Structure 1
Amino acid sequence: MKLLYITNGINGSGGLERVLAVKASYLAENIGYDVHILTLNDGHQHPFYSFSTAIKFHDIKVLGNPVNYVVAYKKGIKKLLKNIVPDIISVCDDGLKGLLFPVLFGKTIPVIYERHASIDLNFISEKNTSKIQKVKNYSQKKIMVWGAKKFNLFVVLTNGNKNDWKGVNCTVIPNLSPFVNVDKNFKDAKKNIVLAVGTQSYNKGFGRLIDIWKMIAKKHPDWKLEVYGKQNKNLNLQRKIDELSLSDSFILNEPTKKIAEKYNESAIFVLPSRSEGFGMVLIEAMSFGVPCVAFDCPHGPADIIKDKEDGFLIKDGNNLQFSEALINLIENINLRRKMGQAAKINVARYSPDKIMPIWDSLFKSLIKKDEDSL
């Protein structure tokens, strides 16, 4: 089967790129798919994660004003579709143009959409308070749902996300863990490190994580909170850290390709996000026996964490409750170990061998349905 993924780029360090690397490589190497990935503006150069050498990469240039951008986008994709003639197209683009793909190109080939973010991601902002902005958000959401209805199938990561797309032909397939054989180098003895992973944005909530850490740092000066992810100087996170005298214990780091080592040595993982499509980093941390504390944001953490069994789910925005759960884990090594062991067991449900057969069946069912309609 010839499968074409369409995305903006694979050179970032985000969850979408991580999942695509694991999933596309599995399909190419384990099931024998002919996998193609299309990116924009050299987005295939220098991928952050490892992709199978069996995958074929394509790229088109889309530049200039919106009109020129759309013209180049349509021309480039139509040319590629004619050249490779895929059996299935899977659009992995959380932007508006991705949601309008069937409107731009039709559905002569079965086309699905993979939504890797909560619908809230498009609307969460510090500047979302004006009436004009609310009208814009309402209009954009209507367009997004209208576009989503045009796909043969719309795939989301959690049941909570499914409920956001009313009237859309949705199915739920969770993300898969990229870490499945960690026992060989697994460290039971962890360092006094609380870990967070993610691109710096208002949505990821690192600003409120700094406020939470302020409640903990003086009481536990032998602990550090380390954040790994693409930095955003406009958020002024480092300035806030310095102003609160937390620079010795709250450390901002650039993304690392050795993130597995960071999971392996950390005692606790935290997710302060305001919204998630899933929470890929949670299952990554849990694979290494790390208990997690996360806000119960829309959507993902509640599907992954079993509250008070392998971690803690905190009412969204309740910084005090978050800090209390974190202190509880910091001060109780037996609780950390118990929850960490449960996390390692529970996260096995996201292994590639459990998730990828679902994708294989889905692709094959779409092909059969398309053939039966001829």
Structure 2
Amino acid sequence: MKLLYITNGITGAGGLERVLSVKASWLADHLGYEVDIISLNEEGKNSFFSFSEKVRLHSVEVSGNPVRYLSRYLEGIQKKVLELQPDIISVCDDALKGFLLPAMIRTRAKWIHESHASVQLGDRGEGVPFQKKFQHVLKQYLGRGFARVVLLSERNKNEWTLPQLEVIPNPLPFQTDKLSTLQNKRVIAVGSYSFNKGYDLLLQIWTKIEPEFPDWELNIYGKLTHDNLFAKAEKLNLKNVHFFAPAPDIQEKYVDSSIFVLPSRSEGFGMVIIEAMSCGLPVVSFDCPHGPGDIITDGHDGFLVENGHIEMFAARLQELMSSEELRQEFGTAGRETAKKYMPEKIVKQWDELFRSLVSK
């Protein structure tokens, strides 16, 4: 079967790129798919994550004002689709232009849209902007052109009214036999330094932690999107907070830590949660829309905290820092939770979906 993914980029260090590398490679290597990926303006660039040699990568070059950009985008996609003749086209682009493709591109292929973000992504505490709400209304209308719109969590269904919704979570991007001893006095957070990831909230939380646990450190790994976090940490006089660039060997960083924290305001899924769990880490996360609550069982493999409740988050984190026994209990349960997201289980769901659409 010929499968074509369309996305904005595959060379970055984000969650979408990581997931796509796992799915595309597994489908090509283990299930015999012919997999092509179209990204934008990435000719000659190296990807951050590795893809199977069987996966073919293509770049469409786009630029100019919005009208010229969209024109070149549609022309470039159409040319590639005619060349590749896919059976299935999966669009991994939450921007409005991705929803235009089924109506604008000539093909007999079945269309799928993969939604990787909540509509509340980027909400800066003042509610979802009108422009974003209006775009989501358009997406609901244009989404009818897809055979399936695939979401990452059951809770995310609340944001959509389309009948052809399906839920397939992200696969675990790596497998490791190494587990944390849970004895290193390190807390880890992973994700881009963006407003949505809530690191400003995490710094406020850490002001309540550091005086009581001065021998513990907080390590944050992520792509730099703005630098005011450094100034904020200095202003709060925090001594044991360290910022790092994305790490290709992030599993080693998990193993060297003892607790994982997710202070996000919203998530599409929260893949870093299952990554951390697979390394045996207990998790503390805000119960933000819409991923963590589908993964974590509060009080069993981690703590789910009311979204934005800084004091409760700090209290739960202190519980884990104070008790190695509790860390071990949650870590053991989390490893079992992570097994549900093994690639062979998740990619099988994709294979079943693709085959059901092609057979119609």
Q: TM bucket by the smaller chain?
A: over 0.9
| 1:226-266 Cα shifts (integer Å, max 9, x gaps) | 000001235x11001001111x2111111111101001111
Name the stretch that deviates more: 39-48 or 224-233.
39-48
Equivalent pair of 1:115/1:155 in contact (CA under 8 Å):
yes
Matching of residues 234-313 of structure 1 within 5 Å: 236-246=228-238, 248-313=239-304
TM normalised by structure 1 equals 0.93
Equivalent pair of 2:11/2:42 in contact (CA under 8 Å):
no
Q: Which amino acid aligns with 2:298?
A: D
Matched, 1:141 2:136: yes
Aligned pair count reads 360
Question: Equivalent residue of 1:149, what SS?
Answer: helix
CA distance in 2, matches of 1:353, 1:143: 35
Question: Equivalent residue of 2:195, what SS?
Answer: coil
Q: Which residue of 1 aligns with 2:161?
A: 166
TM normalised by structure 2 equals 0.97
Closer/same/farther in 2, CA of residues 45 and 256 from structure 1, 3 Å limit: same
Question: Equivalent residue of 2:338, what SS?
Answer: helix
Share of identical aligned residues, percent? 46
- Which contiguous aligned blocks of 4+ residues in structure 1 show a shift greater than 3 angstroms? none
CA distance in 2, matches of 1:318, 1:365: 44
Q: Which residue of 2 aligns with 1:314?
A: 305
Q: Which amino acid aligns with 1:186?
A: L
Question: Equivalent residue of 2:52, what SS?
Answer: coil
Matched, 1:40 2:63: no
Matched, 1:25 2:25: yes
Residue 162 of structure 1 and its aligned partner are, at CA, apart by 1.4
CA distance in 2, matches of 1:141, 1:332: 44
Question: Equivalent residue of 1:4, what SS?
Answer: strand
Residue 166 of structure 1 and its aligned partner are, at CA, apart by 1.1
Q: Which amino acid aligns with 2:13?
A: S
Q: Which residue of 2 aligns with 1:102?
A: 102
CA distance in 1, matches of 2:233, 2:154: 36
CA distance in 2, matches of 1:331, 1:134: 41
Structure 2: 5+ residue runs without aligned partners? none
Q: Which residue of 1 aligns with 2:202?
A: 209
Structure 1: 5+ residue runs without aligned partners? 370-374
Equivalent pair of 1:196/1:271 in contact (CA under 8 Å):
yes
Closer/same/farther in 2, CA of residues 44 and 24 from structure 1, 3 Å limit: farther
Closer/same/farther in 2, CA of residues 199 and 134 from structure 1, 3 Å limit: closer
CA distance in 2, matches of 1:170, 1:178: 24
Name the stretch that deviates more: 158-167 or 209-218.
158-167
Equivalent pair of 2:169/2:341 in contact (CA under 8 Å):
yes
RMSD: 1.5
Equivalent pair of 1:230/1:255 in contact (CA under 8 Å):
yes
Equivalent pair of 2:81/2:107 in contact (CA under 8 Å):
no
Matching residue within 323, 328, 353 for 1:362 = 353
Equivalent pair of 1:10/1:44 in contact (CA under 8 Å):
no
Closer/same/farther in 2, CA of residues 29 and 35 from structure 1, 3 Å limit: same
Equivalent pair of 1:11/1:43 in contact (CA under 8 Å):
no
Q: Which amino acid aligns with 1:113?
A: H
Residue 119 of structure 1 and its aligned partner are, at CA, apart by 1.8
